[in-house]
């Protein structure tokens, strides 16, 4: 029997793997020490756990353990990387470059810097969600201090060509930050060869706990940051605050498992992705958002034309997914990521993000296909847009009374 | 977000879904909203010789609250004269469905749809709108 609701929202967060939970628990009770306590064994045990976890995080992404700075999550890592580098290097220049489809943690950090007098160039991706390296190169200026491009997009799952983009930054002496929150355990990351200076990680997208993340800060050539959190000088002064030993141990274990199981997980999830995609795209007027090839199989973002996303989510209440339509917000704006791809409004309002993970089964995928097929059909019977489409009316030619 | 039981009821069992003949002189059609805003309502009414609304039908592209608002007004419209129909206020729709503040625009849209359908009918029948 299927357990309902079926969870297909792994890009929002993942369950903590039971093996991760087991690793974390001792650090809540018996090994409760402060890793910064150097004067007794209780502190040393906690510190050992932090050292081990730091090595595991580093091993997954091919860097040195001492290049890893613990934070509260990818949002904090993005903030620290972008604001910290921009502020530290502002004498070099006050211009930054990013992409309109970045996560809000990047975009809003950029906005904050604009209020401090920095200038930011926001590049649009192509219709497939990928950033054209030539356009990226053209945006880099002599006064550009930092560029930020995410590795795997959270909404549409496309994988940016970080190696090429990073090389363009290197040639021009521009620091390169990469938000990799959605990438760990899904794509191979090797910072020993990638021209990347800063990279943000999150535990809870990779079967670790919420509330913990990390920032990679390159040592050679050395990257320096203005701290955003001041206090006891933890993490080499870049991020003060008592280390959350149990969270850190959990992130380390989660990243260790990701390293060992990524190949098997990815192959299995790629098969499930294909099954879900084939099943859903067999319906009429279903559009894939984001590049079909340069993507992670964990994400499938589809627009079910002429059906509004929120009502569709309501109809498939036994399936936990996300919609690019945000009718609940006061703005009634569809997803800014889908708009950035140039999607017509009715498709942007009609999108559903399915994200698959370690515990997704074939039976769950088949259930989702059946539910979607029946509910999309039902809602289209209710939809005046579907009616018009059936009658051959071009919706773009209609003069709508926008409100 | 949580939906009220009344919204869920209309959403799951929408009343009077469908279309009436646009060309029928006794039928008024109102279409309001826009795909860009995430909701489009099409409301149709048919009046008898006595000026009373005999039938009302809708189709709506939009969230659950938009579908429920249009379903509800088709129930309320039947048996009313056009002047009585114009008395239906968005606040009454919102109250009946217990719409939260972010969904009030759905009830406004439903009221607009009633007005648009009646305007269309009156224009067809040559009466002052």
The CA distance from A365 to the nearest CA of chain B, in Å, is: 24
Per-residue pLDDT at B127: 60
Residue A384: pLDDT band with limits 50, 70, 90:
very high
pLDDT above 70 for A326: no
| Under 8 Å between Cβ of A79 and A279 | no
Per-residue pLDDT at A403: 57
User: Across the interface, which of B36, B59, B112 has its CB nearest the CB of A400?
Assistant: B36
| Under 8 Å between Cβ of A402 and B36 | yes
B62 vs A241, A328, A383, A392, B34, CA distance in Å? 47, 12, 8, 21, 10
Could you tell me which chain A residue has the CA closest to the CA of B39? A308
Residue B40: pLDDT band with limits 50, 70, 90:
very high
Per-residue pLDDT at A345: 78
DSSP secondary structure string, A277-339? Answer: HHHHHTSTTEEE-S-SSSB-TTEEEEEETTS-HHHHHHHTTTEE-EESB-TTSTT-PBPHHHH
- What average pLDDT does this structure show over A301-324? 91
- What average pLDDT does this structure show over B58-83? 96
Kindly determine whether residue B17 and residue A332, on different chains, have CB atoms separated by under 8 Å: no
| Under 8 Å between Cβ of A207 and A16 | yes
Buried b (16+ CB within 10 A) or exposed e, A45-68: bbbebbebbbbbbbebbebeeebb
Q: Does A343 touch chain B (CB under 8 A)?
A: no
**Token pair recorded at residue B47:** 């009046």
Kindly determine whether residue B67 and residue A349, on different chains, have CB atoms separated by under 8 Å: no
CB pairs under 8 A between A and B: 88
A356 vs A93, A243, A299, CA distance in Å? 42, 31, 6
Which residue matches tokens 């943000």? Answer: A200
Kind plus residue range of the DSSP H or E element containing A345: helix A345-348
Per-residue pLDDT at A204: 98
Per-residue pLDDT at A1: 76
Per-residue pLDDT at B3: 85
pLDDT above 80 for A401: no
Average pLDDT over all residues of chain B: 93
Residues of A in contact with B112 (CB under 8 A): 403
Per-residue pLDDT at A74: 98
pLDDT tens digits for A74-112?
999 999 999 999 999 999 999 999 999 999 999 999 999
Q: Which of residues 80-119 of B touch A (CB under 8 A)?
A: 102, 105, 108-109, 112
Per-residue pLDDT at A330: 44
- φ/ψ (deg, to 5) at A95: -120, 140
Q: Which of residues 374-403 of A touch B (CB under 8 A)?
A: 381-387, 395, 400-403
Q: How deeply is A219 buried, as exposed, middle or buried, from its count of CB atoms within 10 A (0-12, 13-18, 19+)?
A: exposed
Average pLDDT over all residues of chain A: 95
In A84-181, the DSSP E strands lie at 95-99, 119-123, 144-148, 175-179
Per-residue pLDDT at A324: 67
Per-residue pLDDT at A33: 97
Cα–Cα distance, A325 to A311 (Å, whole number): 10
Q: Which residues contact A325 (CB under 8 A, 6 or more apart)?
A: A308, A309, A310, A334, A335, A348, A349, A350, A351, B38
The CA distance from B94 to the nearest CA of chain A, in Å, is: 15
pLDDT above 90 for A331: no
Name the percent of chain B lying above pLDDT 70.
97
Q: Does B71 touch chain A (CB under 8 A)?
A: no
Per-residue pLDDT at A328: 43
Strand order from edge to edge, sheet including A119-123: A68-71, A213-217, A198-202, A175-179, A144-148, A95-99, A119-123
The answer to which of A23-32, A272-281, A309-318 has the lowest mean pLDDT is: A309-318
Pairing relationship of beta strands A175-179 and A144-148 according to DSSP bridges: parallel
Kindly determine whether residue A385 and residue B33, on different chains, have CB atoms separated by under 8 Å: no
Cα–Cα distance, B128 to A66 (Å, whole number): 80
Could you tell me which chain B residue has the CA closest to the CA of A330? B102
| Under 8 Å between Cβ of A215 and A235 | no
Which residue matches tokens 């040195």? Answer: A64
The CA distance from A357 to the nearest CA of chain B, in Å, is: 25
pLDDT tens digits for B96-106?
999 998 899 99
Picking from B14, B40, B68, B113 by the largest number of A CB atoms within 10 A of its own CB, the best residue to mutate is: B40
Residues of B in contact with A395 (CB under 8 A): 35
Could you tell me which chain A residue has the CA closest to the CA of B100? A328
| Under 8 Å between Cβ of A167 and A146 | no
Residues of B in contact with A329 (CB under 8 A): 102
pLDDT tens digits for A200-218?
999 999 999 999 999 999 9
Residue A397: pLDDT band with limits 50, 70, 90:
confident
- What average pLDDT does this structure show over A28-44? 96
Kindly determine whether residue A329 and residue B102, on different chains, have CB atoms separated by under 8 Å: yes
Residue A9: pLDDT band with limits 50, 70, 90:
very high
> pLDDT: is B95 or A403 the higher one?
B95
Residues of A in contact with B40 (CB under 8 A): 384-385, 400
Q: Compute the Cα dihedral for A109, A301, A287, A387 and give only its sign.
A: negative
In A225-268, the DSSP E strands lie at none
Kindly determine whether residue A344 and residue B40, on different chains, have CB atoms separated by under 8 Å: no
Kindly determine whether residue B41 and residue A311, on different chains, have CB atoms separated by under 8 Å: no
| Under 8 Å between Cβ of A287 and A305 | yes
Residue A325: pLDDT band with limits 50, 70, 90:
low
Cα–Cα distance, A70 to A35 (Å, whole number): 13
Residues of A in contact with B14 (CB under 8 A): 382
The catalytic position among A327, A373, A388, A395 is A327
- What average pLDDT does this structure show over A112-119? 98
Q: Which of residues 250-309 of A touch B (CB under 8 A)?
A: 306-308
pLDDT above 80 for B87: yes
Per-residue pLDDT at A177: 98
| Under 8 Å between Cβ of B3 and B64 | yes
Answer yes or no: pTM beyond 0.90: yes
| Under 8 Å between Cβ of A110 and A97 | no
Per-residue pLDDT at A327: 45
Q: Is the bond preceding residue A70 a cis peptide, omega within 30 degrees? A: no
Catalytic residues of B: 37, 106
């Amino acid at each position: 029997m299927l357990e309902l609701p079926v969870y297909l929202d792994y890009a929002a967060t993942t369950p903590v793997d039971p093996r991760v939970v087991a690793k974390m628990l001792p650090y809540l009770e018996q090994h409760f020490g402060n890793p910064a306590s150097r004067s007794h064994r209780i502190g040393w045990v906690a510190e050992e756990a932090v050292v081990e976890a730091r090595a595991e995080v580093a091993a997954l992404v091919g860097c040195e353990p001492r290049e890893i700075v613990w934070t509260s999550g990818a949002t904090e890592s993005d903030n620290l990387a972008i604001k910290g580098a921009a502020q530290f290097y502002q004498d070099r220049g006050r211009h930054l470059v990013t992409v309109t489809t970045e996560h809000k943690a990047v975009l809003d950090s950029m906005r904050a810097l604009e209020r401090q007098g920095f200038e930011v160039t926001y590049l649009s991706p192509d219709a497939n969600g990928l950033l054209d390296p030539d356009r990226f190169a053209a945006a880099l200026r002599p006064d550009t201090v930092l560029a930020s491009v995410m590795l795997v997009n959270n909404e549409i799952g496309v994988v940016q060509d970080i190696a090429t983009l990073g090389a363009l930054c290197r040639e021009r002496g521009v620091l390169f930050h990469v938000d990799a929150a959605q990438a760990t355990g899904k794509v191979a990351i090797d910072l020993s060869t990638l021209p990347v200076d800063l990279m943000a990680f999150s535990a809870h997208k990779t079967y670790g706990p919420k509330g913990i993340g990390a920032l990679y800060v390159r040592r050679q050539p050395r990257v320096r940051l203005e701290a955003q959190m001041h206090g006891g000088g933890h993490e080499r002064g870049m991020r003060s605050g008592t280390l959350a030993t149990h969270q850190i141990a959990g992130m380390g274990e989660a990243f260790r498992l990701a390293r060992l199981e990524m190949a098997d997980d990815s192959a299995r999830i790629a098969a499930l992705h294909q099954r879900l995609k084939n099943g859903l795209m067999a319906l009429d007027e279903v559009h894939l958002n984001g590049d079909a090839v340069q993507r992670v199989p964990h994400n499938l973002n589809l627009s079910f034309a002429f059906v509004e996303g929120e009502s569709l989510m309501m109809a498939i209440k036994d399936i936990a997914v996300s919609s690019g339509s945000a009718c609940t917000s006061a703005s009634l704006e569809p997803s800014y990521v889908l708009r950035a791809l140039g999607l017509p409004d009715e498709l942007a309002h009609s999108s559903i993000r399915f994200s698959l993970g370690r515990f997704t089964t074939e039976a769950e995928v088949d259930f989702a296909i059946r539910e979607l097929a029946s509910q999309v059909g039902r809602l289209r019977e209710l939809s005046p847009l579907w009616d018009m489409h059936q009658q051959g009316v071009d919706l773009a030619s209609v003069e709508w009374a926008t409100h | 977000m949580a939906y009220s039981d009344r919204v869920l009821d209309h959403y799951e069992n929408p009343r009077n879904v469908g279309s009436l003949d646009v060309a029928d002189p006794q039928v008024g059609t109102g279409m309001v909203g826009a795909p860009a805003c995430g909701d489009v309502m099409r409301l149709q009414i048919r009046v008898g010789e006595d000026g009373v609304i005999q039938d009302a039908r809708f189709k709506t592209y939009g969230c659950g609250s938009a579908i429920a608002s249009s379903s509800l007004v088709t129930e309320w419209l039947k048996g009313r004269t056009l002047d009585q129909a114009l008395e239906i206020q968005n606040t009454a729709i919102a109250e009946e469905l217990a719409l939260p503040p972010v969904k009030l625009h759905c009830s406004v849209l439903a009221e607009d749809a009633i007005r648009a359908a009646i305007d269309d009918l009156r224009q067809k029948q040559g009466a002052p709108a």
